[in-house]
Structure formats: C-alpha cells, structure tokens
Structure 1
Amino acid sequence: MADTESGVIARAAALLKVLETQPHGVSLSQLARLSGLPRTTVHRLVASLEAQQFVSQGSGGVSLGPAMARLAAAAHTDVTALARPCIEALGRRTRETVDLCVFRGLHAISVDQYPCDQELRVVSPIGTAFPIHTTAHGKALLAALPTAEQAALLSGTLERRTARTLCEPAALRAELALIQRRGYAQDEEEHAGGVCGLGVALVTAGSARYALSLAVPAYRFAAQAEELLRALVQCKAEIEALAGQ
C-alpha cells in the first residue's frame, strides 16, 4: 500500500478513535485539537467519512455514524455464535424476545435476536442502536462500567424516549446502584410505551462488553417477571460457562 494511502487511513483512524471517546459529538475545531491534525485535514476526512456513514454531523457536532454500528455488529460473530444455542433455548422457554447487545458509547447495539413466537411481541432489527440509559440491556451495561466511565457518558443531555425515561442524573445514579446490588436491570416502558424488559451484563473473554435481555409487552410483564428473571440468569450463567468465565 502506498505511503499516502497508509497516511490517510492512519489519520482517519485517529479521528474515529477520538470520536469513540466523545459520544455527545464535537465540533470540527475540537476534533482537530483532540486529534492533533490540521483543521483542513479534519474537514476533508470528515466529509469523506460522512459520505460512507462512518461519521455523522448534526447540531451536536461530529459523532460516530450508523456504519460504525453495523461494523460493531459484524465484528462480534464469534460471541454471537457461542451464545446462540443458549439464546434459542431461552427464547423457547420464555416465549419472549431475547436480545444480545454490545456496548458502544451511548448505545447498546443489537447483534443477535431470538424473536417471540406469540402474536403480540417486541422485536427490533439487528443493528439497532438503543440509547444506553433507556433499556434493560443498556442499563445493565452502564451499571457494569467503572464510576468514572459512567460519569463521563452521562455528563451530557440524555434523550427522553418516554415519560418514564430516567434522564435526571441523581435518579439514574440511584438506579445504577440498585442494578449493581441486585445483578440485573429492569425497563418499565422507559424506551417505548407498552414495552418492558429485563437485562443482565455478560462477563466474556475479550474487551467487548455484552448484555442479554428479554423484551416483553407491558401487559404480560408483571405476572411473568420473576420466572423470566430466573430463566435469564440461568442463560447468563450458561453463556459465561461456554466463554470460559
């Protein structure tokens, strides 16, 4: 590969690494300062990366784009394959939708799913990026992070998806402390009206962080919650055993 091509790739990678640590987005001038690259170079690279959806530009500045979410999903096929038999067994046992997600900044990205077989069910496309503070799997991932990382992620304005979404820092911190104590997270219509969920963080080899969850229509959640939780925790143990944890 030519040196100029290698240089372009290295500079683009430097920008993406900076954006990975800036989930709320940064301006072009901030991106230039943080990456140590000239502003004209940053402007040119951002335009090229945006054309391929690797970055996005909005009111909050430049941030990682949807193509990065798709790459994140594709990069985790080994864990997906490892967990798949357990996920299928959990789906058959509970008859509710099972989701496997990976942590990515301010989002939990779906990398696998076993859909519910009942007429009324909760399903989302693979690759969906869920705001990390609004779902059971997202909050489970968030609660598993060191306190300093939590604080950095939650330092900006958080999206309110429903009237029940926890956006206030004090309330969210209290929720995360509760999740840490009891070992699982719960979503009661915080991401979408009529949808509830249970989620647990997985301990697997490697640096990637995963979570497993059950998505359940709200009208049948309360009556099944304890049974669903037992099945979810059992599935977590099975996956972690396969992963050598």
Structure 2
Amino acid sequence: MVADSEGNGSQVIARAATILRALEDQPAGLSMSALAKATALPRTTVHRLVTSLITQQMLLQDSDGIKLGPALARLAASAHIDIIALAQPAMATLGRRTRETVDLCVWRGSHTVLVSQFVSDQELRVTSPVSTAFPSHCAAHGKALLAQQSDEALDVLLPQLTEARTSNTLQTGKTLLAEIALIRQQGYAVDREEHARGVCGISVALQTGVGERYALAIAAPALRFDEQFAHLLASLLQAKVEIEALVAR
C-alpha cells in the first residue's frame, strides 16, 4: 500500500508539473480544453489538478483562461536570488580566464535586465550598471533568451522589437527569426555591435528549471572579439555547464 501511494503521489506531481510547463510560455492563458490538449491529459484530470493548483495560488483563472499564479512568482523571486549567488564563482572564474566582462541577465520579455556582473581587469573593457535593461533583439543575452521562447510567444514579441541601436541592429521580423533559428541550431547567440558601437557579446541561455530565465554573457570590445572568439566561446560553454550542475543539485 505504501508503494502504491508513493507511485500515485509521484504521478500527481508529474502531471501537475506538465500543466505548469504547458502554461510557462502562455502569458495570455489557456482554456481548460486547450490545456488538456497541450498536456495530452484527460480533461477531468486537468480540471481536478487545476482546481487544486488554484487553491494553492500556483495557478489563477480569469476571463482569458488559466495562467501561472502569484505563488510561482514568489518562488521564482527566491530562485532569482539563489541563481545569482550560485553563478558568482563560475562568473569569476570565467572573467579571470577570459579577462573580459561577464554578465548575468534575467528575461523580461522585450528586454533583459543585468542582475550580476564580473568586470574585466583590462584598461579597455565593457561595463554596464547592474539593473540596466537591454532590448532583447540587439544584445547577445537577449537573443539567447529569445531563442528559448515558443514560436507563439515570438509572434507576440516581434512587433515590440524594432528599436535600432546601431546600423547593425536586426530590425525586421524576418531577419530576427532567421537569427533565432541559427541560435537554436548552434546553441549560443552573438552580438557584433548591434547594441552599441565598438561592443560585442556572446551568450548562452542557462537551464535553471521552472521560474526566472537567465542568460550568461561575455561582453568585449569589438577590436578583441573576433581574434578571441574561439577561446571566449569555449570558456563560456564551460561556465554554463558548471552553473547548471550547481542548479541541478
């Protein structure tokens, strides 16, 4: 009987997680039938779990549909602090290895926000104040996180991503979607003077589980970027592995 109870409990948790993941990229919400279709779960099961999750404020339901609830936002805020702390040692190692500035940014839809930074020790370096917001379409970390979004979410976001920061900024939906397809294929994003003249960046999205979405990036002066690219990319990918290993513990 104990084994059966544990098995049933695990199944309930797994199904609840499936529902939460299905709603992760649906800020407008889904109807009960659409949610059942998206999760491939029986509608009666979805209704029962949704009702329980609403009671716990994990979900909420309004006229638009079922959405992620405020309790998840509070949990995400706690995770937000933990990710910054967990990432700092790997960021410091990455910064010392490359001697370039290392940024940790969090996803905010049309923008990414800088939440932590390890500053280069070189005289010519790239820095930005923590809490700086960057348009998602013209910075490496923003593009890395755009590539993590569903096609439906991109359809909503693209009309907002038209600001031209430099002559290199991608300004049309067609060029941005082509760039996103490339990022998904290669696993990293590059910014060659798209956000600011003389500044380049390379970034990867971090897999941190349910909650906030983060990207790790290296920012470097354009005159050093291409000659160091292979070293920067290899070091960045190693830091990504180190951070994600800590998160998974």
Structure 1 and Structure 2 fold alike (TM over 0.5): yes
Q: Aligned runs of 1:90-129 on 2, under 5 Å? A: 90-129=94-133
Q: CA RMSD in A?
A: 2.1
Q: CA deviation at 1:206?
A: 2.7
SS of equivalent residue, structure 1 residue 238:
helix
SS in 2 for 1:173: helix
Structure 2 CA distance, aligned partners of 1:95 and 1:179? Answer: 25
Partner Cα distance (1:157, 1:98) in 2: 24
Tell me what 1:194 maps to.
198
- Alpha-carbon separation, structure 2, partners of 1:215 and 1:242: 23
Partner of 1:158: 162
Aligned equivalent of 2:180 = 176
Deviation for aligned residue 1:156: 3.4
Q: Tell me the matched-pair count.
A: 179
Quick one: percent identity of the two aligned structures?
54
1:184-232 deviation per Cα after TM superposition (whole angstroms, max 9, x unaligned): 0000000000000100000013321100000000001110001100000
Q: Which runs of 5+ in 2 are unaligned?
A: 1-26, 29-61, 64-75
When residues 157 and 109 of structure 1 are mapped into structure 2, their CA distance, relative to the original with a 3 A threshold, is closer
Once the 2 structures are TM-superposed, how far is the Cα of residue 150 of structure 1 from its aligned partner? 1.2
Query: Secondary structure at the residue paired with 1:239?
Result: helix
Q: Any gaps of 5 or more consecutive residues in structure 1?
A: 1-20, 23-34, 37-71
Q: Which has the larger radius of gyration?
A: 2
| 2:86 pairs with 1:82 | yes
TM superposition score normalised by structure 2? 0.68
Instruction: Identify the match of residue 146 of structure 1 among 135, 141, 150.
Output: 150
4+ residue segments displaced more than 3 Å:
72-75
Query: Using the alignment, how far apart are the partners of 1:83 and 1:73 within structure 2?
Result: 16
1:223 alignment partner in structure 2: 227
Q: Distance in 2 between matches of 1:244 and 1:136?
A: 25
Aligned partner of 1:212 in structure 2 is 216
Check the 8 A contact 1:73/1:110 in 2, yes or no. no
